[in-house]
């Protein structure tokens, strides 16, 4: 069977809306895929501010934003289809939305971007609310990407995605586990914003700074890191806990960036050491994707620390690097359409497998 689907992803780094049109082929339970077209629609300052401050809105204003953002997404999908001449080629759209609230301990998660509004705008079948059922079943609702890594990729032992939050998937003795590692681009971008810069291109600013050992030690002692999986992070971990700690250290921007890059690399190494495959003598492979994989200085730090742990860090071509999550959202939508399990309870801690996602027939 062949499925042509658009996947949509808006990460906590607030850089933009990722759109990927992917053709999936399933033959005898084996899946292959090809990314036909992909773009990142950069958010305006207005949209960045709306998404950033959504959690402070009243219930009514939040719902109005939910609807407005859904229509915005639908319009962006229509323009994407026009630009790439995809009319009558798209079978379905799978939208992750933009996470606002994430409280798995209270069995609640919320992503902005009304699926009904997207369906109304595009006149296509839309699958949204991808995390909700797993949360209702006692899971973390995150990470949900490992189902796609298991189906679409082979030959890797670790998958690291560095977005606003860094998360890792581990193929440990044929059992998939995954969890959020730490805040990543969201904090780095907040630090560069202090100097009016959107992001640290290639990590050049961080590379010019020095590690502050006291700050690094304080960050590494945060309670979250000692918790066992399954576990996940909300955006507020970076904005309300991590960033204020860095601010109190009163360092230069370059020293703060350098220290936080080291912190990310250390936490990724710890995730490998504490949950990995290192009982064997074989070398292991880690695929690194997400916007943070474009930070060459961060990747260098990862390679340096993980080489000592028998793990080779690999960065794919730029299209897969930037749009892997959007591609997997499309696959999760296809699995929902086929009424097949589209989440791994071994990852999320849910009581059972589930077929997640609300279906809106456009």
DSSP per-residue letters across 32-83: EEEEEEEEEEEPPHHHHHHHHTGGGS-HHHHHHHHHHHHHHHHHHHHHHHHH
Q: Which helix (H) or strand (E) holds 269?
A: helix 253-275
Same-domain pairing of 101 and 179: no
Same-domain pairing of 215 and 267: yes
Same-domain pairing of 262 and 222: yes
Same-domain pairing of 302 and 173: yes
Same-domain pairing of 88 and 218: no
Alpha-carbon distances, residue 278 vs 187, 260, 283, 338 (angstroms): 30, 26, 9, 37
Structure tokens at 13: 């780094």
- Give exposure, 22-53, as e/b (b: 16+ Cβ within 10 Å): bbbebeeeebebebebbbbbebeeebeebbbe
Task: Identify the weakest region by mean pLDDT among 15-29, 72-86, 276-290, 340-354.
Answer: 276-290
Widest CA span in the chain: 58
d(C-alpha 235, C-alpha 32), whole Å: 33
Place of tokens 């990543």: 184
Looking at the DSSP bridge assignments, the partners of residue 182 are 166
Same-domain pairing of 116 and 205: no
d(C-alpha 303, C-alpha 89), whole Å: 41
Query: What are the E-state strand segments in 212-279?
Result: none
Residues 164-187: pLDDT tens digits? 999 999 987 667 888 999 999 999
Same-domain pairing of 197 and 338: no
Residues 256-293: pLDDT tens digits? 999 999 999 999 999 999 886 665 668 899 999 999 99
Structure tokens at 302: 């990862």
The pLDDT assigned to 39 comes to 97
d(C-alpha 236, C-alpha 218), whole Å: 18
Same-domain pairing of 76 and 123: yes
d(C-alpha 39, C-alpha 329), whole Å: 15
Same-domain pairing of 158 and 273: yes
Position 362 pLDDT exceeds 90: no
Same-domain pairing of 97 and 192: no
Residues 203-255: pLDDT tens digits? 999 999 999 999 999 999 999 999 998 899 988 999 999 999 999 999 999 99
Mean pLDDT of 150-166: 91
Same-domain pairing of 151 and 286: yes
Same-domain pairing of 297 and 153: yes
Does the bond joining 127 to the residue before it have cis omega, within 30 degrees of 0? no
- Please state the length of the chain: 362
Q: Coil, strand or helix: which one is 162?
A: strand
Cut 0.95: pTM above it: no
Q: How big is the chain by its Cα radius of gyration, in Å?
A: 20
> In this structure, what CATH number is given to the domain that contains residue 184?
3.30.420.40
Domain with 241, as residue range(s), is 147-319
- For the chain, what is the domain count? 2
Find out whether 316 and 287 touch, Cβ atoms under 8 Å: yes
Strand 175-183 vs strand 165-172: parallel, antiparallel, or unpaired?
antiparallel
Q: Within 10 A of 279 (CB to CB), how many other CB atoms are there? A: 7
The pLDDT assigned to 278 comes to 62
User: What residues contact residue 44 under an 8 Å CB cut-off, 6+ apart?
Assistant: none
């Amino acid at each position: 069977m062949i499925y042509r689907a658009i996947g949509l992803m808006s990460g906590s780094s607030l850089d933009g809306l990722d759109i990927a049109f992917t053709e999936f082929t399933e033959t005898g339970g084996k899946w292959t895929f090809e990314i036909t077209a992909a773009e990142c629609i950069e958010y305006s300052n207005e949209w960045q501010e709306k998404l950033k401050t959504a959690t402070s809105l009243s219930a009514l204003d939040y719902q109005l934003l939910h609807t407005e953002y859904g229509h915005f997404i639908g319009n962006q999908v229509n323009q994407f289809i026009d630009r790439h001449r995809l009319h009558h080629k798209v079978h379905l759209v799978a939208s992750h939305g933009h996470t606002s609230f994430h409280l798995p301990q209270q069995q609640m998660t919320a992503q902005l971007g009304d699926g009904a509004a997207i369906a109304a705008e595009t006149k296509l079948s839309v699958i949204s609310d991808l995390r909700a059922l797993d949360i209702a079943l006692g899971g973390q609702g995150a990470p949900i990407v490992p189902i796609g890594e298991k189906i679409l990729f082979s030959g890797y032992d670790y998958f690291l995605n560095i977005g606003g939050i860094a998360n890792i998937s581990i193929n440990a003795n044929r059992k998939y586990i995954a969890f959020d590692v730490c805040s990543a681009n969201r904090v780095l971008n907040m630090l560069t914003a202090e100097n009016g810069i959107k992001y640290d291109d290639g990590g050049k600013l961080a590379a010019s700074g020095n590690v502050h050992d006291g700050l690094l030690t304080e960050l590494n002692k945060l309670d979250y890191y000692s918790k066992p999986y399954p576990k996940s992070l909300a955006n507020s971990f970076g904005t309300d806990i991590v960033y204020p700690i860095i601010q109190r250290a009163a360092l230069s921007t370059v020293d703060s960036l350098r220290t936080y890059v080291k912190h990310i690399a250390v936490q990724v190494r710890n995730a490998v050491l504490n949950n990995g495959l290192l009982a064997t003598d074989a070398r292991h492979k880690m695929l690194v994707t997400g916007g943070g994989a474009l930070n060459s200085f961060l990747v260098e730090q990862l390679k340096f620390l993980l080489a000592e742990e028998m793990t080779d860090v690999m960065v794919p071509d730029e299209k897969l690097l930037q749009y892997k999550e959007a591609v997997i959202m499309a696959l999760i939508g296809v699995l929902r359409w086929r009424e097949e399990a589209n989440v791994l309870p071994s990852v999320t801690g849910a009581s059972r497998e589930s077929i997640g996602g609300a279906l809106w027939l456009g």
